[in-house]
Structure 1
Amino acid sequence: MNKNNLAAIVLLACAACAQAEDNVLTFGAGIAGAARYSGADDYVIGPLLAIDYQMANGFYASTLRGIGYGGAVGPVYLSAALGYRGERSEKDRSGIGGASGSPALRGMGDVKGSATAVLGASWDIVDGLALEWHAELPVSKRENGRQIGVGLTGTLYQQARDHVTLSLAANIADRDYMQTYYGVTATQSARSGYRQYRPKGGLYEVELGMTWKHMIDTRWGVTGTLSAVALTRDAANSPITKRPRSAAGAVYATYSF
């Protein structure tokens, strides 16, 4: 799937931004679909598999969230983790997490994956409405650039077993990030046939998402998520952007103990 693999926006049932009272291990499995890469005009569907271990003291290890720590400071929840930003291939390279590229990128070369420092914060403005912020800073392959995002998440419906939320987010990137994922260098242009393109940093993506979590019992849960993504400004005008608007979705089950 695209570089912002759907797994990155899917949180396991136990992995909400709150410190658990006990240590909780969660296994998740399901199916997910998203554009092959950011700006692609075709989609790929693949399995979604995840493991998340949340400790009562705030430390966690997760295939989705990375390895890190989160805790509350007054009304604000803060987190910091070591994560991984996936690769983007110039070929249709498939794996257990879905495709990581597209033949439409032939000649663009591969964008290598990188370790990242992921910082986050969430503030409950009022009950059921949270202001959120995150930053993704590469630790390796720093030339791939940095990205930050801000958003709002609100609860639309909540009962004992069901929780429905709606979120709106905007993502901003520096010039290096934009060049890596939406730009075309002279060398890439000669190899791929795309015109040269040097995008500027700034707002590049907005996203609207909805999530419904249903708890079957205290251990089993089912979650469905659907999002609409729109590239903006220089990202939307990139030669490799075939379609600036796309959708992503997933349905998965979780078991916690």
Structure 2
Amino acid sequence: MRCFRRSMACACPPLPDFRRRPSMNVSSFNRLRGNHAVRAGVLACMSAIPCVAHAQTDLTGSSRLLGDRTEITAGAAAVATPEYAGAERARVQFNPVLVVQRGVLFFDTSRGGGLQFQSKSGFYISQSLYYDLGRLQSDSNWRPGSRLLAGMGDVPGSVTSRTLVMQQVTPYMNVNAEAEFTLKDAARRNRYRAGMEFTLLHSANDTVALDLDVHGGDRRFNQAYFGVSDAQAARTRFAAFNAGSGAYAAAVGGSWTHSLGEHWATTVGVTGTRYLDNAEDSPLVARRSVVSGNLALTYSR
């Protein structure tokens, strides 16, 4: 089973998913901490196994739950992105790319590790555990943050539970949605994404795709990344701002994946993000519209 290519955006423009993009044809898809929330996420993954096993048996008859081979994609990516959500300054960071898939199991540096299932009708669902890096009030080479936020305090990181669902509508279009819930009691916040993906070109060597997404969060998420409390305002140059729940950004992204042979591929991506509603008037948002980009080289077997 080939895992559906999709990565959820966070408050900052996300690290992209650089796996080989499958065609939109269904046939091509064959090509902690022990608090109660963590236990609930793990149990959700475990409870899905019997259903996935049954569906997998129905799908191929003799196929096994864990498949007959392990697919691995590894590489490196250069990502140009703002220092944090709404930051005026940008930076370039280098990130490893690793995707391992076998049957219903997967590990992905962009989505974490968990379970996945895809049906003949083009329905896809995955459940995984990931880690939200939060935001620092100091400069960092690999985490969102800036010294310009000094006095705001850090937005703590947390293990998260991520659920992704997708339905293929036509061979070149799908609709999808994703939700991410933090599992740390001291860092409760939830974020959501709904979008559409279009395959504009798919050939033997090239795939060009377009993504349209709307991102939202609950009050705690939006306040953590875009709000300024009275106490924070007293310690910083930012005015107090209360961010409510709802949409905080809309994004348009394009990507081009080019095959360099049987195993090697390059991916170039550009995403434009417009902060809106609960974020655009935040004093933390220096630029309401931002552009991020990425370039990756990967090897798959």
**Normalized against structure 2, the TM-score is what?**
0.79
CA contact (8 A) 1:87 1:110 kept: yes
Question: Which of 248, 254, 257 lines up with 1:210 in the alignment?
Answer: 254
2: CA distance, partners of 1:141 / 1:227 = 32
Q: Residues 128-187 of structure 1, C-alpha deviation per residue, up to 9 Å, x if partnerless?
A: 101011001111156441111110100111110100000100011110101100111111
Matched with 1:61 is 107
Count how many residue pairs are aligned between Structure 1 and Structure 2: 251
Matched residues in 2 for 1:105 and 1:19: separation?
46
Report the Cα distance in structure 1 between the residues aligned to 2:79 and 2:242, rounded to whole angstroms: 32
Deviation at 1:11, TM superposition (A): 3.4
1:13 correspondence with 2:24? no
5+ residue gaps, structure 1, are none
Cα distance in 1 for partners of 2:191, 2:161 equals 11
Counterparts of residues 186-225 of structure 1 (less than 5 Å): 186-225=230-269
TM-superposition CA deviations, 1:169-212 (whole Å, max 9, x none): 00111101011001111111111131111111111110000010
In structure 2, what is the Cα distance between the partners aligned to 1:100 and 1:147? Answer: 17
Matches within 5 A, 1:133-212: 133-141=177-185, 143-212=187-256
C-alpha distance after superposition, 1:87-128 (max 9, x if no partner): 21111122xxx3521122111011111111000011111111
Structure in which a larger fraction of residues adopt helix:
2
Opposite residue 67 of structure 1, the aligned amino acid is: G
In structure 2, the partner of 1:127 is 171
Q: Give the Å deviation of 1:51.
A: 1.3
Identical columns (%): 25
Alignment-derived partner of residue 50 in structure 2: none
Residues 14 and 58 (structure 1 numbering): CA distance in 2 closer, same or farther, change over 3 Å?
A: farther
- Give, as a single letter, the amino acid of the residue that structure 2 aligns with 1:64: S
Say whether 1:39 aligns with 2:77: no
State the AA in 2 paired with 1:160.
A
Return the letter of the residue paired with 2:17.
Answer: V
Cα RMSD of the aligned pairs, angstroms, is: 1.9
Higher Rg = 2
Deviation of 1:52 after TM superposition, in Å, equals 1.2
Relative to 1, partners in 2 of residues 1:232 and 1:246: Cα closer, same or farther, differing over 3 Å? same
Deviates more, 1:99-108 or 1:160-169: 99-108
The residue identity in structure 2 corresponding to 1:107 is G
Contact in 2 for aligned 1:137/1:145 (Cα 8 Å): yes
Give the unaligned 5+ runs of structure 2.
1-9, 32-66
2:105 maps to amino acid: F
CA gap 1:154/1:10 in 2 versus in 1, 3 angstroms: same
Letter in 1 for 2:117: G
Could you tell me which residue of structure 2 aligns to residue 85 of structure 1? 132
The residue correspondences of 1:112-123 to structure 2 (distance < 5 A) are 112-123=156-167
Q: Assess if the C-alpha contact under 8 Å between 2:21 and 2:207 holds in 1.
A: no
Q: CA deviation at 1:4?
A: 3.5
Asked if the contact 2:157/2:187 (under 8 Å) is kept, the reply is no
Equivalent position SS for 1:250: strand
Answer 1 or 2: which has greater strand percent.
Answer: 1
Distance of aligned partners of 1:203 and 1:14 in 2 relative to their CA distance in 1, 3 Å threshold: closer
